[in-house]
Amino acid sequence: MRAVLAALDLPAATPAQTADTLARWRARPPAMLTARAGGMLRVPGDTATRYAIELDDGQVAHGLAEPDGAGGLALRAPRQPGYHTLRLGSASIALAVAPPRTPRPPRARQAWAWD
């Protein structure tokens, strides 16, 4: 692991540096999150943090991400499916929200084989 971190120019000369680098790496917010509409999201963090979700239609939803008791922060995804942006502290996270159910395609006409 130390060789990998060193190859990335991250501090890893000692076990303490390696542990610190890994802890900081794990605490970084992800580049993208996925969720079902209205479902719960979890992001790294340990103190309540205000957030804004910029919806793909231009609206903005504000809230407070609260500690979830498992080493992260919990917040509810928008009910509107689409590609949105979550702003949490100084982080900007792409947010892909899927509908609760996938719509069924329209019923196709019966396909007939040629004899």
pLDDT score, position 112: 63
Could you read off the pLDDT of 61-99 as tens digits, one per residue? 999 999 998 888 999 999 999 999 999 988 899 999 999
Residue scoring higher pLDDT (97 or 22): 97
Return the structure tokens found at 84.
Answer: 């949105």
Backbone angles phi, psi at 102, to 5 degrees: -80, 130
Count CB-CB contacts under 10 A for residue 92.
Answer: 12
The model's pTM is 0.70
Instruction: Look at residue 27 and give its three-state secondary structure.
Output: helix
Task: Report the CATH number of the 27-98 domain.
Answer: 2.60.40.10
E strand or H helix that includes residue 62? strand 60-67
pLDDT, average across residues 16-26:
83
Q: Where do the domains of the chain lie? A: 27-98
